[in-house]
Structures are given as C-alpha cells and as structure tokens.
Amino acid sequence: MKRITTFLCATMLIQGVTAQSFIQAYKNRADMVTQANITANLQEFGNLGIKTTGSQANNNTLTWIKNKYISYGYSASQIVESPFTYGSATSKNLIITKTGTLYPDKYVIICGHYDTINGPGVNDNGSGTSIILEAARILKDVPTEYSIKFIHFSGEEQGLIGSSHYVNNVVYQGGIRKLDIKLVFNLDQVGGVKGNNNNTVYCDEDQGGVSSNNAASAAVTQQLRNCTALYSPLQTAVDPAEATDYIPFERKGEVITGFFERIRSSYPHTSKDTFTNVDPVYVYNIGKAAVGALQHFATASTNLTTVTKAASVNSLETVKIYPNPANDILHIELPVQTSNFSFEISNSMGRSMLRVNNEKKIDVSSLQSGVYVGILKVGEETLVKNIMIER
C-alpha cells in the first residue's frame, strides 16, 4: 500500500449506523485463528523472496497460495487463476469462490495483494495474505448466506494493475456489470512493527472518489469496527480509503472497507520488510477481527455444533443501557454482580470520547447531541450498542 495521508475528516457524518449483537459461533470461529498458522504463513511468505510482478518469485508465491487452498479442501472448480499482462511480463490474480446458501450470485470479496517490491514484503502484504488464508481455512465448511470470493491480487505495487484488470474484465465486461458485489473488504499492510504498542487497527472508509459510495462505506466500516470490538482485543480508528486494491472497485461504485495498521511501519518497499520486523501477535489479532467481520458480512451460520466452546448464550445479551436516548446520565444494569468491567463511548469517526471502569452511572453531559458507539467489556465478553445523546 502506498499512502500519502492518514487524516480523519471531522465533518463526516455517518448515516444508518447499526450495531451488531455478539454471536458465540462467530467468536468461536474467530478464536480458531492460530498464532502458529499466522507465524508459519508469514515466515513462508518471507522465504519466497522479492515477489515483483511477473517474476519467478511472484509465480512461486501464487503456487504457494494455491497449494494452501488445495490443502484446505477447496476443489479445482473453486480455484481460478486469472492472468494479466504488465508491460512485457505476465502475472496472475488468484480467485477462490465459496458459494452462498441463499444468495449464491451475490458476493462478499475479501482481498489483498501478494506482490512486493525491493524486499520480501512480509508486512506489505504477507500480513494480509496470511489472514485471508486463515479465514479461508476456518470458513471452508461453514455455510454462509452470501458467496465469498477470496482474492489474491498481483501488480498492486505497480499501480493496482491486477485489481484493475479484474474489475474491468471480470466484474465488468464491455461496460456491463457481470458480478453482483455486496462489498469489498481489503487487507493491506497489517503487520505492525515489533516492539510497538500495536493495540489499534485502522478501519478504512471511503471518504472521496465516487461520492455515492460514501454513506454505504461508512455504514459497513462502522460494522467492521463493531465486529473488531466483538471478536478481538483490538481498538479501532477510522482511516480514509486510499491507494490499494479496493480503489478500482470504488471507482465503479462498489462499497468498500478494509484494515490497515495504525502505527505505520517504515519497512515496506525495502529489504527490511522481513519477518523479524513485524509483530505476529498483531497480525493474529487482526486475523480474529477479520474472521469475525467476514462472517458478519457474509451472514455465516450461527450453528454451534461445529465449534468447540460450550457456552451458547452471551451473558451480556440481557444488559440494560438506559435511557437511550440519554441526556446527562447513562445507566448500565448488568445481569450478574461484577466489579471488573469497562465502558467506552466513541464518536462516528472512531475517536474515543469517554472511557470509564467499573462505573454503572456515567456522566455524559460533556457529549454533544448525536449518535455514538458504546462498547461494554466484561471479562472476555463484549457488547456493542448505539448510544443516542439528545438535548
């Protein structure tokens, strides 16, 4: 990813924000992301060398990714190699399709690039590649209402060549839309830097380009933030969408969102973008968030029979947060006695406005009228709700 700015648009208003309820089956599957798999994927990706578009290392990496899907049990009919030319070179995108149960012809796309320049690219973008692979492994046999396309693009570093080819030749053919896309969820440069306090991830939101996309992108980006709070230990902030593989989709009017590291590494596009310099735990935590969010976007089965945890009821489902809308005081009523919980209120742009620990009567008089996101955490459980302030 090649970004110039990372600013927040203070005047952006989010319409139609909806909170998600905690789903135990989604949490169980998010917890199936393993640190061992993430670490192995990052190391193996790094060992494949500098993956310049069209190079032998680039081709070898495509084969490595493809073999992962075969090992997960995806069939030949689900795996498609889509070639494109870049100057005198040829490279390929890799597209894997998992068919939905209710809406087989409407797609949630989760994507990221696997090409690199000037280095092995373990952060940019072995990190996103590793997470997509884990998501595909875990959801292989999980029914989803919408179809999912796991896409690995090449040519991103040369100017979104692979994703542009896919949009202009597969999604659209002769100017006619051939693929019905629900949303595009991109992962690029989510490796962090070892030694940093990597506890926050950017959620990318469309704030420019085709303006008709912006409200829908704001809504799904808020859903991505909610899912991150529900299914991972990470905090979130909003970042404007820029210069990565969702942009060719955005230019055609598709709805986009994505993840990007909050503390930006200086190693991408250099020989130092190696496993030694990334934070595998950060990638692991973003992986959990991604698996949780992908299930939400594709409406995965909530059947608990295929997951390992015994608990089937979230004890926070009966929590009362009132009044809502609130004026000056907000009350939290917990179903069981507890003295160890936290509650945070953030605005629509992801900035924390208020955070308290172990307080059931909260003074919100300093907040302006509007819609906020409240996140209650009790032990390993999290509840996300919209909070209205009216005066």
Omega before 233 cis (within 30°)? no
Q: Are residues 268 and 122 in the same domain?
A: yes
Instruction: Provide the CATH number for the domain around residue 378.
Output: 2.60.40.10
d(CA 104, CA 115): 30
Name every residue whose Cβ is closer than 8 Å to that of residue 134 and which is 6 or more positions away in sequence.
33, 34, 37, 38, 41, 287, 291
Pair (330, 280) in one structural domain: no
Q: Are residues 263 and 133 in the same domain?
A: yes
155 is a domain residue: yes
Query: Which tens digit of pLDDT belongs to each residue from 246-270?
Result: 999 999 999 999 999 999 999 999 9
Regarding whether 113 and 230 lie in a shared domain, the answer is yes
Q: Is residue 3 part of a domain?
A: no
- Pair 182, 93 in one domain: yes
C-alpha distances (whole Å) from 40 to each of 37, 122, 203, 270 are 5, 11, 25, 22
* Number of domains composing the chain: 2
Residues 6 or more apart whose Cβ sits within 8 Å of residue 317: 21, 22, 383
User: What's the pLDDT at 275?
Assistant: 95
Q: Above 80 in pLDDT, residue 14?
A: no
Q: Specify if 196 maps to a domain.
A: yes
Q: Are both 64 and 194 inside the same structural domain?
A: yes
Q: What is the pTM of this model?
A: 0.78
C-alpha angle 339-344-345 in degrees, rounded to nearest 5: 145
Measured in whole angstroms, the distance separating CA 294 from the mean position of its chain's CA atoms is 7
Residue 2 within a domain: no
φ and ψ at residue 216, rounded to 5 degrees: -65, -40
Domain stops at, among 263, 298, 333: 298
pLDDT > 70? residue 313: no
Regarding whether 64 and 92 lie in a shared domain, the answer is yes
Residue 337's domain comprises 315-389
Selection from 202, 244, 224, 282 nearest residue 8 by Cα: 202
Is the model's pLDDT at 310 over the cut of 70? Answer: no
190 and 151 fall within a common domain: yes
Here the CATH number for the domain that contains residue 105 is 3.40.630.10
Domain membership of residue 307 (yes or no) is no
> For the segment 156-204, what is each residue's pLDDT rounded down to a tens digit?
999 999 999 999 999 999 989 999 999 999 999 999 999 999 999 999 9
At residue 19, the pLDDT reads 54
Residues 230 and 286 in one domain: yes
Distance in angstroms (rounded) separating the CA atoms of residues 58 and 48: 8
Distance CA 295, CA 67 (A): 24
Using the predicted structure, report yes or no on whether residue 42 has a pLDDT greater than 70. Answer: yes
Chain segment 127-141, per-residue pLDDT in tens = 999 999 999 999 999
Instruction: Report if residue 145 sits inside a domain.
Output: yes
